[in-house]
Chains A and B, each alone.
Chain A
Amino acid sequence: MKKLMLGNEAFARGLYEAGVTVASSYPGTPSTEITEHLAEYDEVYSEWAPNEKVALEVAIGASIAGSRSFSAMKHVGLNVAADPLYTVSYTGVNGGLVIAVADDPGMHSSQNEQDSRHHAIASKVMMIEPSDSSECKEFVKTAYELSEKFDTPVIVRMSTRIAHSQSSVEINERVLPEQKEYTKNVQKYVMMPSMARGRHVFVEERTQKLIEYAEASPLNTVIDNGGDTGIITSGAAYQYAREAMGENSSYLKLGIVNPLPVELLKDFCSKYKTVYVAEELDDIIETHCKKIGMNVTGKEIFGFTGELSQAIIAEKLLGKKNDSVEFTESVPVRPPVMCAGCPHRGVFYSLSKNKITVSGDIGCYTLGASAPLSAMDTTICMGASVSALHGFNKARGEKAEKSTVAVIGDSTFMHSGITGLVNIAYNATNSTVIILDNSITGMTGHQQNPTTGKNIKGDPAAAVNLEELCKAVGIKRVKVVDPYNLEETERVILEELDAPEPSVIISRRPCALLKYVEHKPSLTVSAEKCKSCKMCLKLGCPAISMKDGKAVIDSTQCVGCSICTDVCKFKAIS
C-alpha cells in the first residue's frame, strides 16, 4: 500500500517496522512529529523526556539492555545530548541505537543554523541522510542493521524540507527482532580511563571499517548521465540539484555523510571535467574532497547561509533565472505573533509597560520580543534565561536586580531552567524568575511535559509541583498569578522585583489553543465610546485593529480573554 507521508511520519513507520521497542525524545521543530507518530504504535514504548540528554541516555540504557532503541531531537537538542553521544560512541551498542537529529537550514523555527554533521564527525558516529519520505523509512531500517553490525550508534540527519514534506511511502510489516542477551561487560560499558583507552582504539578501527563500507554501500549512489559536469550532494540538496540540472549533470548522492568514502569520490571526480559540491550549511563534503586532493567547487558559489534551492543551483550553474511578475507596491511583512487569547500577553504587557529588562528563553513566548510588546532583551538557548539573569545581576548589582526578570515556559523550565534556579538560590542573587506555565509545550505543537500530569499518550502521569519544586531548591518567595488579571500580574511583578531575596512568579493559565480550554464569546468595541487612543493596540493582539479611525475586534480570532477591556480607559470594549 502506498501512502502520502511526512518525512517524520515515514521515519516513525521505519522505526516501527524495524522493531524498535523503546523511544525517548524531547520535542523540537522540525523533529517533533517523528516521536508523535511513533507514539501512535502501541507496540512501541515512547515518551517525552525532560530534555535531550535524558532522552538519549534512556535510549542508551535500552540499547545496552538489548532492545532496538531510539531518540529524536532538533539540531540544538543534540548539543544538550552531546555529552552521552560522545561516549556512547565508545561503548557502542547492544540492541541497535538510532538517533534522529533535524537541522533547520534557513532557520524556520530555530535560534541558529548549526550543521549537525560536525557532531557526527567529532563524536566519530556514523551519520546517514535520507532525501525523501520513502528513504526516511528505508534508511531507518538500514540504520539499525548497521548499528548492530558495526557496534555503533547511527545518527539519521533530517532537515526541515525532508522532515516536513510529504511524499509517497510503501508500507511494510513490523519485524520484531529477538531481544539481545544482556551480559555484564565492564570493558565495553564502564567508561573509566583504563577501559575507555581500549574503546578509543576500537572506535578508530570501526571508522576504518565504516569508510570501507561507505565505498560500496547502496546508500551512496551514482547517477551517471555522461557529460562534463558532476555534482556531489546529499539530502534535500540532492533534490534541488536533480530538479535544476536534470540530465545535464551526473550525480553522486551520498546517503552516508559520516564517514565519507575516499575511492568512490576520487572515481566520481575523475569522470567529469567540472565537479560541484551542493550541500546545505557547512562545507563538510567539499572540505573532505579537497583533503583527498579533488578539485571541486562548492561554497564559493553557493555560500554557507540559508537553504539551497533549484533556483539557486540553476542560477549559479546555468545562469538561468525564471521570469516572474512583482506586486507593484511594498507588501508589509507578517511576522509570527502571539495568538489572540495567549496567556503570555498579560505578562509581557506588564513588563513592557514598566520598561523591565527581560532575559528570555525558547518557546512561543520568545514572540514577546516582537513589536509592539518588544519585551525581551536576550534569547540564547533553552534554560539560559534563568542562568543568564543571575550573571547579569551579579555583573550589574542591586539596580539590575530590581529591574530585570527572566521569563521561561513550563516545559523549558523542566528542560534546563531548574539548574539555573538552583544556582540563583545557592549563589544568591535577588533575581526574579517568571515561569510562564501554560500547561503544555506550546511552540512545537502541544506536547505533554512533566508538569502537565499527562504522558505522551495523554494518560495520567505524575505532575511536578512547580511551587514545591522552587521552594525545595531554596526559593522562599513563590507567587502564582493569573495573567488574564492584568492588575494582579503587574502588582506582583513589581513587588517581587522590589523584594530583597530571590523569587519565582508562576504565571498560570493554559494555552488558549488547547482543546479543553473553553473560549468566551468574541468581544466588541463600541464605536461611540472608542476615543481612538490606540491603547488596546499596545497589547499586540492580532484580533484588534483600527478601521475608519476606531478599534475593531475580529470575531473569528477573539476568544474573549478580556485583557483589552482592562487597558481601555473608556470602557469601550465589552
Chain B
Amino acid sequence: METKSIMIVGVGGQGSLLASRLIGNVLLSGGYDVKVSEVHGMSQRGGSVVTYVKYGDKVFSPVIEKGEADIIISFELLEAARWVSYLKKGGSLITSTQRIDPMPVITGTDGYPDDIANKITELGIEVTAVDALELAREAGGVKASNVVLMGVAASKMDFEDELWQDAIKQCVPPKFLELNQKAFELGMNV
C-alpha cells in the first residue's frame, strides 16, 4: 500500500506526544511499518508544535511536507490554519474549536483570524470541528482533549476498536485510564 500521512498539530503543552504515541501503537499493532516524528525541546514551550505519523508497507522519510498529509488533527484553530497547506488534495481536517492566542495576538501586534473552520471548508477541505475541551471536561478533565480528538480520528479510520483500547492502556498512566477511555468514547461518538 501507498504510505499514508497524518499530522497532529497544536500548541506546546496540549499533549500531542501522547496522541502520536497512541496512534503509532495502533498502527504498529495493525501490522504496518510506522514512523512517528516528534518535537522536543525549545519549540515545545507554548510554541506551534507538529507531529508526523506515517504508515504503510515501508516508510522512509519521517517527515511530512506541503501537500502530502491525508489527515490533519489539530488541537487548536489557528494551528489548523497554519498547517492546512500540508494536506493533499482531498485530505481532511479534524480540529478542536479551542482558541489559544499566540504572543503576537496577546500583545496586540497581530490579529487572530475569525471563522477559521469555515474558511478552511471554503478551500475544499472536509472539516470536522469539535469542541474537544468541553467533551474532555465532560469526561472528567480538560487535559484529555487530546484523547477526545483521537476518538474523532478513530471514527474516521478503519482500525478495530480493540487496537485503540489496547493503545490507550499502553500509553496512559493507570490513574487516568478511565478518564481517557471516556474521553476517547465521547470523541468516537461525535
Binding site for B on A (CB under 8 A): 2-4, 6, 29-30, 32-33, 108-109, 132, 161, 164-168, 236, 239-240, 242-244, 307, 309-311, 321-339, 364, 367, 370-372, 443-445, 534, 537, 540, 542, 544-546, 554, 556
Within the complex, the shortest CB–CB distance from A113 to chain B, in Å, comes to 14
Identify the closest chain B residue to A237 (Cβ): B61
User: How far is the CB of A201 from the nearest CB of chain B, in Å?
Assistant: 42
Q: How far is the CB of A482 from chain B (nearest CB, A)?
A: 22
In the complex, what residues of A have CB within 8 A of residue B67's CB? 321-324
- Beta-carbon contact of B104 and A332 below 8 Å: yes
B109 within 8 A of A: yes
- Interchain CB contact under 8 A, B45 and A327: no
**Which residues of A lie under 8 Å from residue B109 when comparing CB positions?**
371
Q: Are B102 and A332 in contact (CB under 8 A)?
A: yes
In the bound complex, CA of A330 to CA of B82 (Å): 9
Contact in complex: A166, B38 (CB < 8 Å) = yes
**In contact, A4 and B102 (Cβ under 8 angstroms):** no
Q: How far is the CB of A8 from chain B (nearest CB, A)?
A: 9
B45 adjacent to A364 (CB under 8 Å)? yes
Cross-interface CB contact of A4 among B28, B44, B89, B111, cutoff 8 Å:
B28
Q: Closest CB-CB distance, B51 to chain A, in whole Å?
A: 10
| In the bound complex, CA of A6 to CA of B24 (Å) | 11
Residues on B lying within 8 angstroms of A by beta carbon are: 11-13, 21, 24-25, 28, 33-48, 59-63, 65-68, 78-79, 81-82, 84-89, 100-113, 116, 119-120, 123-125, 133, 142
Please determine whether A165 and B36 come into contact, CB atoms closer than 8 angstroms. Answer: yes
Q: Please give, as numbers and ranges, the residues of chain B lying within 8 Å of A364 by CB-CB distance.
A: 45
B43-A544 in contact (CB<8A): no
Question: Could you pull out 15 A-B pairs where Cβ atoms are within 8 angstroms?
Answer: A4-B25, A109-B41, A165-B36, A168-B34, A240-B60, A322-B66, A322-B67, A326-B85, A336-B12, A338-B45, A371-B104, A443-B41, A537-B108, A542-B100, A556-B133
Most buried by B among A166, A372, A537: A166
- A337 and B45 within 8 A (CB): yes
- Give the chain A neighbours of B35 by CB distance below 8 A: 132, 165-167
A372-B103 contact, Cβ under 8 Å, with A311-B65, A332-B112, A336-B44: yes
7 closest residue pairs by CB, A with B: A322-B67, A109-B41, A29-B41, A336-B47, A324-B67, A311-B65, A334-B102
Complex Cα distance, B121 from A62, in Å, reads 61
Q: Are B105 and A545 in contact (CB under 8 A)?
A: yes
**Apart from A339-B45, A534-B108, A546-B106, what are 18 other A-B pairs with CB-CB below 8 Å?**
A29-B40, A30-B41, A161-B37, A167-B33, A168-B33, A239-B62, A242-B61, A322-B65, A325-B123, A325-B124, A327-B82, A332-B102, A332-B104, A370-B103, A542-B100, A542-B103, A542-B106, A545-B106
Q: Are A161 and B62 in contact (CB under 8 A)?
A: yes
Bound-complex Cα distance A108 to B28 (A):
27
Whether the Cβ atoms of B60 and A239 lie closer than 8 Å is yes
On whether the beta carbons of B46 and A336 are closer than 8 Å, the reply is: yes
A331 adjacent to B87 (CB under 8 Å): no
Q: State the CA gap A111–B93 with chains docked (Å).
A: 34
Chain A interface, DSSP helix/strand/loop, else mixed: loop
Q: Nearest CB to that of A363 among chain B residues?
A: B42
Residues of chain A with a CB closer than 8 A to B65's CB: 309-311, 322
Given A324-B87, A443-B42, are A167 and B103 also a contact pair (CB < 8 Å)?
Answer: no
Contact yes or no, B43 A109, CB < 8 A = yes
Give every chain A residue within 8 A of B41 (Cβ-Cβ): 29-30, 108-109, 443-445
Nearest CB of A to B79, in Å = 7
Given known A327-B119, A372-B103, contact A30–B40 (CB-CB < 8 A): yes
CA of A217 to CA of B80 in the docked complex: distance in angstroms?
Answer: 46
B25 / chain A contacts, CB cutoff of 8 Å: 4
* Residues on B with beta carbons closer than 8 Å to the beta carbon of A6: 38
Residue of A nearest to B84 (CB): A327
Interface pair B37/A540, CB less than 8 Å apart? no
Contacts of B113 in A (CB 8 A): 327, 329-331
Please measure, in the bound complex, the distance between the C-alpha atom of A269 and the C-alpha atom of B123, giving whole angstroms: 46
Given A4-B25, A239-B62, does the pair A323, B88 have CB atoms closer than 8 Å? yes
Contacts of A540 in B (CB 8 A): 103, 106-107
* Contact across chains for B45 and A367 when beta carbons are under 8 A apart: yes
Q: Using A4-B36, A339-B45, A542-B103 as known contacts, say yes or no to A325 and B24 having CB atoms under 8 A apart.
A: no
**How far is A168 from B35 in the complex, measured between Cα atoms in Å?**
8
A527 vs B46: C-alpha distance in the bound complex, in angstroms?
A: 26
Most chain B CB atoms below 10 A, which of A109, A329, A336, A546: A336
**Which residues from chain B contact A371 at a C-beta distance below 8 Å?**
103-104, 107, 109
Are B79 and A334 in contact (CB-based, < 8 A)? yes
Q: Look across to chain B and name the residue whose beta carbon is closest to the beta carbon of A32.
A: B40
- Asked if residues A240 and B103 are in contact (CB atoms below 8 Å), the reply is no
**How far is it, in angstroms, between the C-alpha of A333 and the C-alpha of B47 when the chains are bound?**
9
Q: Separation in Å of the A364 CB from the closest CB of chain B?
A: 7
